[in-house]
DNA sequence: CTGTTAGCGCTTTCAC
DNA sequence: GTGAAAGCGCTAACAG
């Protein structure tokens, strides 16, 4: 017996006694044949279980797949659970969906060189987060296909960015209007070597240009200096991964300092960090904001649908995703874009 | 001048004076040619900017793309922000990643018939959530490619499920050990017609077999009946979408009832619902658990990394995803699986 | 309006 | 160990 081969366009053509071109047209260019014939073809197709042109063959032939790849700097597992990355993906998905494209998720974190071969199927790439250097440098990915970067700036490609330094300056400045005696910073991924804990003289920091965390740090320091603090006055802690699990021990270390050493203002580089600090502080009976004031960064929903609400800077990550997606689809000019941020005054640093 | 055509395997072969088969072997079957030649080929490939076989052509030829599609019942925008769906995707991504596959995200919610043509590129499908009836019935998707369903049961396909009825019976029974005077249920997507608010006699519910919410309801009712309540004793509210924004108004309606009508026990069908209730209750100065006891469902991290911690049922969504992914990759036998759930006793219903 | 034809770029027997 | 050749299933000229 014959193998259970999938019905092809050619089978259908033979069956109906028309040419393959006509079948193809019936599916792709309705205006190229009589409605009656088209009806007949579509009907027969359904009867024979033919579901329309095969995507693999079609994409080989046309050169386009209607697939856009999103390359994430972190592992997928992490990215999907990070509220900021999620919002970003939402924005991307929204636009792609509306235009009949689909989303291929890739992690840039794995063996850098072997970004899966299946990637080359994509019509375009959106890259998010600081890529591993090798990937960045060689700009290995795009193989002359369009690429838009979000939150980092590989040379020669359009970027969607926020104004990190001014944004963190803005919130730090706001928080410092109320005098703080012991301000401290809790940063995300700031050191060259992985570190979960206090940053000391021993640590070297990531290079200033390549990392959004360095930009945010600069903003914090600018505001602190305006208030008469030197950078070394404000101790810094580093957190490698923006998850409850990783944040919690570092923040416990901070909150469990003796009363006269414990910071009274925590400038955090993400809402996740700030929210974890908030929870742990409440568990310890610290009063917010009397005993401890807190600021976040991102403006995620979780920080606002609670009491006390987080004081933070909002960046519109969904919109970042939308813009990148529009660029990649050619719906908007591919020019680097800087999105504004806004201060959200909540209850944790009124 | 010639168009800027992408380098192909054939170009490379011509350039090197070998056959295309040899180039192909250099990339795919190192044992089929001398190491020296392979080196030379790979070197020249890099020099000419050839990044290895084109995924579109390769997948047409081999019939496999190393892409697995995940079809989500809800919109991508929603799914990515839902903690349970996110965990699921994490589990799937973890396994696919480890085996060199990538993840294509599809939403089943859009025009049902037009699941994007690009879907047929996938080697297999993982479908999550109750599909729109038409999609379910015709099982239109798989086109004789493997399909694994999660949290619903299309006839003839393997499924990954949890024991919803016993799980909700378990938590309701636990919560009702402490006598409740006015228990109430807050359900997710239980009515045939969309409804955000109280469920009345007017509403028809979704059919029992097809929805996990009906199963959970059955568990709640079983526990209530053991305590001498009839189903009509416990008022029900319905929520269409598991987001803060949609949950909040419904829960406000409940919490703002006069003291002698306000429920003193809220059995919620998701942690998101319960957490939103918790926040709103705290804002209203209700004491938890003295004035109001609350249970959730899912066991998401957000509910445990806070105070008070949520009393809930934990389902391991990450593991659900892993199992489905293993099945689809043929790493595990494709047989329907029922995962266990566990009770988490937190502070909201001690 | 319909059919013929020439590949898209690659993998894979099967000879050599 | 290496090469020649036959398509995978489809689309887009082009000719009728």
DSSP H or E run through A325: helix A317-328
Q: What is the DSSP string of A76-122?
A: HHHHHHSHHHHHHHHHHHHHHHHTT-EEEEEESSS-GGG--GGGGG-
Which tens digit of pLDDT belongs to each residue from A201-253? 999 998 887 789 999 999 999 999 999 999 999 999 999 999 988 999 999 99
Q: How many CB atoms lie within 10 A of CB A110?
A: 16
Q: Burial of B201 by CB count in 10 Å (0-12 exposed, 13-18 middle, 19+ buried)?
A: exposed
The residue of chain B with its CA nearest to that of A142 is B51
Phi, psi angle pair for A149, to nearest 5°: -105, 145
Torsion of CA A265, A270, A274, A275, to 10 degrees: 170
Distance, in angstroms, between A51 CA and closest chain B CA? 8
Q: How confident is the model at residue A309 (pLDDT cuts 50, 70, 90)?
A: very high
Q: What is the DSSP string of B197-248?
A: EE--TTPPBPPTTT-HHHHHHHHHHHHHHHTT--GGGS-EEEESS-SHHHHH
Q: Does A67 contact B at CB distance below 8 Å?
A: yes
Alpha-carbon span A162 to A150, nearest angstrom: 9
Place of tokens 């009515």: B191
DSSP H or E run through A314: strand A312-315
Assign B318 to helix, strand or coil.
helix
Which tens digit of pLDDT belongs to each residue from B259-313? 999 999 999 999 999 999 999 999 899 999 999 999 999 999 888 888 889 999 9
Omega into A308 within 30° of 0, i.e. cis?
Answer: yes
- Strand C within 7 A of B26 CB: no
- Å: B103 CA to D11 C1': 27
Which tens digit of pLDDT belongs to each residue from B232-259? 999 999 999 999 889 999 999 999 999 9
Q: Is the pLDDT of residue B111 over 60?
A: no
User: Which pair of structure tokens corresponds to residue A318?
Assistant: 């969904």
Alpha-carbon span A297 to B220, nearest angstrom: 40
Nucleotide in closest CA–C1' contact with B12: C9
> What pairs with residue A337 in β-bridges?
A160
CB A349 within 8 A of CB A183: no
Interface of B with A in 218-277 (CB under 8 A): 244-245, 248, 276
> What pairs with residue A268 in β-bridges?
A186
Instruction: State the DSSP code for B289.
Output: T
Assign B96 to helix, strand or coil.
helix
In degrees, to the nearest 5, what angle opens at C-alpha B275 toward C-alphas B274 and B277?
65
Alpha-carbon span B295 to B349, nearest angstrom: 7
Q: How confident is the model at residue A1 (pLDDT cuts 50, 70, 90)?
A: very low
Query: pTM of the prediction?
Result: 0.90
Q: Does B338 contact A at CB distance below 8 Å?
A: no
Omega into A186 within 30° of 0, i.e. cis?
Answer: no
Alpha-carbon span A274 to A280, nearest angstrom: 10
Residues lining strand D, beta carbon within 7 angstroms: A 5-6, 8-10, 20-21, 24, 27-28, 53-54, 56-58, 60-62; B 17-22, 25, 31-34, 37, 57, 60-61, 63
Interface of B with A in 77-116 (CB under 8 A): 77, 80-81, 83, 86-87, 89-90, 93-94, 97, 100-107, 110, 116
Q: Does B58 contact A at CB distance below 8 Å?
A: yes
Given this model, what pLDDT does residue A2 score?
Answer: 39
The residue of chain A with its CA nearest to that of B304 is A244
C-beta atoms of A89 and B76 within 8 A: yes
Domains for chain A: give ranges and CATH numbers.
9-53 (1.10.260.40), 67-161 (3.40.50.2300), 164-315 (3.40.50.2300)
Which tens digit of pLDDT belongs to each residue from A75-87? 888 888 899 999 9
Q: How confident is the model at residue B10 (pLDDT cuts 50, 70, 90)?
A: confident
Mean pLDDT over each residue of chain B, to the nearest integer: 89
Given this model, what pLDDT does residue B138 score?
Answer: 44
Q: Is the pLDDT of residue A144 over 70?
A: no
């Amino acid at each position: 017996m014959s193998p259970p081969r999938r019905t092809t366009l050619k089978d259908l053509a033979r069956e109906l006694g028309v040419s393959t071109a006509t079948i193809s047209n019936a599916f792709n260019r309705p205006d190229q044949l009589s409605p009656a014939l088209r009806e007949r073809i579509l009907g027969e197709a359904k009867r024979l279980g033919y579901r329309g042109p095969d995507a693999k063959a079609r994409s080989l032939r046309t050169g386009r797949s209607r697939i856009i790849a999103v390359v994430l700097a972190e592992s997928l597992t992490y990215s999907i659970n990070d509220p900021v990355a999620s919002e970003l993906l939402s924005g991307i998905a929204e636009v792609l969906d509306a235009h009949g494209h689909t989303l291929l998720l890739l992690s840039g974190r794995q063996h850098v060189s072997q970004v899966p071969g299946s990637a080359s199927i994509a019509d375009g790439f959106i890259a998010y987060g600081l890529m591993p250097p090798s990937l960045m440098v060689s700009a290995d990915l795009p193989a002359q296909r369009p690429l838009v970067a979000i939150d980092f700036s590989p040379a020669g490609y359009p970027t969607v960015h926020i104004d990190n330094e001014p944004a963190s300056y803005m919130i730090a400045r706001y928080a410092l209007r109320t005098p703080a005696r012991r301000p401290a910073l809790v940063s995300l991924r700031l050191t060259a070597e992985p570190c979960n804990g206090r940053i000391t003289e021993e640590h070297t920091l990531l290079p200033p240009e390549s990392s959004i965390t360095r930009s945010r740090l600069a903003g914090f320091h600018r505001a602190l200096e305006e208030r008469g603090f030197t950078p070394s006055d404000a101790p810094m802690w580093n957190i490698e991964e923006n998850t409850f699990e990783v944040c919690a021990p570092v923040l416990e270390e901070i909150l469990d300092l003796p009363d006269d050493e414990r910071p009274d203002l925590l400038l955090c580089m993400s809402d996740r960090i700030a929210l974890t600090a908030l929870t742990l502080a409440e568990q310890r009976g610290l009063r917010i904001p009397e005993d401890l004031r807190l600021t976040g960064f991102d403006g995620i929903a979780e920080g606002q649908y609670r009491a006390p609400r987080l004081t933070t800077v909002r960046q519109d990550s969904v919109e970042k995703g939308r813009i990148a997606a529009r660029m990649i689809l050619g719906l908007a000019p591919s020019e680097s874009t800087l999105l504004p941020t806004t201060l959200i005054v909540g209850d944790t640093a009124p």
